[in-house]
Structure 1
Amino acid sequence: MNQPFLAEADAGIWVDSEPLECCSVVPEAPDTATFSFVSPSGAMFKFLPGQFVTLELPAQGGTVWRTYTISSSPSRPLCISVTVKAQADSIGTRWMLDHLRPGMQITASGPAGIFTLPPKEKKKYLFISAGSGVTPSMSMVTYLYDRGTPPDIVLVNCARRPSEIIGRARLEMMASRLPSMKLWFIVEEDDPYTVWTGLRGRLNQIMIGLFAGDYLEREVYCCGPEPFMNAVREMLIALGYDMEHYHQESFQAPVKSEEQAPEQDDLVLDDKADASILFAKSGVTANCTETDTVLAVAKSSGLNIPSGCTFGVCGTCKVKKLSGQVHMVHNGGISDDDIEDGYILACCSNPIGEVELDV
């Protein structure tokens, strides 16, 4: 009989008045590692998948407190892990990577956080993340995997390079044993002298439809840098997704309670809101609503704006906006420089109020 295990089980639940003792450090990617901790008393850990802990770190220049999402699962309660990635200006994370080693103890508080799975199990999930925002997805997916009731999981993770995909081996291991779990990795560029046969570019609406054609039926969990999450929200809203089933957490600023959660100021187009488009070169003014695309209004007015994909990919329908506001959710068919210069894609732009175009 395993007496040490029984002793740990009898020790109760870890509380943050007790320190954490580092038991392993596993490199994950450049400037990224998973730190695992046990409680010195042998207590077990109780938390919800997706929650975070705050670590007190004796960094150079003075103590700092840093919040990290727990990347391990509560279904494996003998230790707790955080996966951290250092940025150029990191202080606490840099100290962990350079100095924190097995046997060292640190002070922590938590666990806490509201970015977690619903109390009642859902059957279909879509996890979308970028960079180290994959860490809560790793915890949630591991928990669902360990439950043994095969969930329908689609996990999408975006990284700069293949070598910077965090937790790839762990996620692939679970997917290899769970046929209902599908993984999609998207990178912006290749690693030198290596072959990448996966997807390149940036996440867009077309990809979401390809990865999970039934995305409207799935519970969506998103985590990553704020601009990334803003883009994902806009894509889903444009696709008609019910945002009541959308959940997000910025790994830079997790919240502890519903009251602290920021309200998302998402623009939802109104099919009853009046709008109008003045096609300046043609001298045509057309009345429409916010849900009409510029391309559709032009065609119904007898005007020809060249178009191809009609989904914001090819860029054929690029036109110059002279004044007014449009809501554009494109799929990579226009550059940031063009947008700054006032250009829009007619196929995926909706007029807000009065708009004037150089058409």
Structure 2
Amino acid sequence: MNSVERMFAPAPEAEDRLSNANTWESGGKLWASSEQQTLTCCRVVDETHDVKSFEFRVGDGSPVRFEPGQFMTVSANVQGQSVERCYTISSPPTRPFLLSITVKRVPGGIMSNWLHDNMKPGSELRAYGPSGSFTPTSAPAAKSLYLSAGSGVTPLMSMTRASIDLGLDRDIVFVHSARTPADIVFRKELQRLAELSPRLRTFFLCEGIGDEEGWSGPTGRLSLQLLSEWVPDYAEREVFTCGPAGYMTAVRALLHQGGHDPARYHQESFDFAAAVVPEASSPENEAAQASFTVKLSRSSKTFTMSASETVLSAARKAGVAIPSSCSQGICGTCKTKVLEGTVDMNHKGGIRDREVQKGFRLLCCSHPTSDLVLEL
């Protein structure tokens, strides 16, 4: 054991703190995902030529509680239109007084371009509280494999920073793909963190060398052969993946080909372009034509709706403002507690079992099966 390894010899019972929900529930104040607050920009950091990190303090500067890998939904008025987008919190919850998002400028991207062009220290931005289930607590594991591409590095960076800040030396292999070496987000920091934590190994893969003629790393795209060389025990690891949809599809197929258990694969994506609007139920379906009453406990507002509608769409028709983003049961922004009544919810990972057990539901993918009372 070398000197660095001796410095990082944690007590055995501390090893799982990263994956223990109690770790993150104990620090800072709860900021509900349905609650909107004002963020004040403290710092803007140029990560690459087209990627910036924006660091914020929340409201009165109090610490905020969240889990590594979670996201928040930011809201801004852009050219007279209200625009909302989900961004992963790239800072770790071990540094709860500042929240950062890391944003790539995208051609034609409304929010990303607005942030790059307008956000500076002192600027304000509205945001909803942290949400999402793409965190280590969803799948505790002794060994992890982080696979990312482009700005998909951000949730995995939050997890890695949190692990280091907790004083852990976890067995993590972090493989990041980028267009060129100049496009590797957090390149120097990841290299530094790998020096601090002996069991954190980082690998970078670029499609081309760009202007960095001295690049000595591999080029091309991730293959099963390359993954096997870097991570011979990948089949034994819990895999967390984030990046463009095409990248994640390719990675999932690659792991399947290599015999990795799909139950140990987790991915995060905010690509909602393929959203599908459910068709209205057939008039012949009597259940779909049932009408229910929805009451809001805080405002005492009441409206009626059909079982063929989602609770979110019906609430909007009734003039009730409920935060939402993906409308597919993925992002978790519209998570709301159902105090009375039942719904038929068909989500895609935006809510956890323990939240469901506490009575929370995603309104964007929930159809009423009785009269409801919502905590709104």
TM range (shorter): 0.5 to 0.7
* 1:59 equivalent in alignment to 2:78: yes
- Runs of 5+ consecutive residues of structure 2 not aligned to the other structure: 1-26, 273-325, 333-344, 351-376
Q: Residue 148 in 1 paired to residue 151 in 2?
A: no
The answer to whether structure 1 residue 126 and structure 2 residue 177 are counterparts is no
Code of the aligned partner of 2:331: K
Q: Which residue is 1:93 aligned to?
A: 112
Q: Percent identity?
A: 39
The 5 A counterparts of 1:41-190 are 41-118=60-137, 121-190=140-209
1:79 is displaced (CA, Å) by 0.6
Name the CA shift for 1:149/1:169 in 2 (closer, same or farther; >3 Å): same
Count of residue pairs the alignment pairs up: 255
Q: CA deviation at 1:260?
A: 2.7
Where do 5+ consecutive residues of structure 1 fail to align? Answer: 1-9, 264-359
Are positions 1:261 and 2:348 aligned together? yes
> For the pair shown, which has the larger CA radius of gyration, 1 or 2?
1
Other structure's SS at 2:158 match: helix
Aligned-pair CA distance for 1:119: 5.2
Other structure's SS at 1:129 match: strand
SS of 1:126 mapped into structure 2: strand
Q: 1:177 and 1:149 mapped to 2: Cα distance?
A: 10
| Counterpart amino acid of residue 183 in structure 2 | E
TM-score by length of 2: 0.64
Deviation at 1:199, TM superposition (A): 1.1
What is the one-letter code of the residue matched to 1:261?
K
Between the two structures, name the one with larger relative contact order (CA 8 Å, sep ≥ 6): 2
Q: Which amino acid aligns with 2:243?
A: G
DSSP-derived class of the 1:260 partner: coil
**Counterpart of 1:315?**
none
Which residue of the partner structure matches residue 367 of structure 2?
none
CA 70–99 in structure 1, closer or farther in 2 if over 3 Å, else same:
same
Over the aligned positions, Cα root-mean-square deviation in angstroms equals 2.3
Residue 220 of structure 1 corresponds to which residue in structure 2? 239
Measure, in 1, the Cα distance between the counterparts of 2:255 and 2:139: 23
- Work out the CA distance in 2 between the residues paired with 1:247 and 1:100: 32
Q: Return the TM-score normalized by structure 1.
A: 0.67
The question of whether the paired residues in 2 share the 8 Å contact of 1:14 and 1:44 is answered with no
Q: Please tell me the residue identity of whatever aligns with 1:181.
A: L
Partners of 2:88 and 2:139 lie apart in 1 by 22
CA distance in 2, matches of 1:184, 1:70: 22
- 1:60 touches 1:95 (CA, 8 Å); kept in 2? no
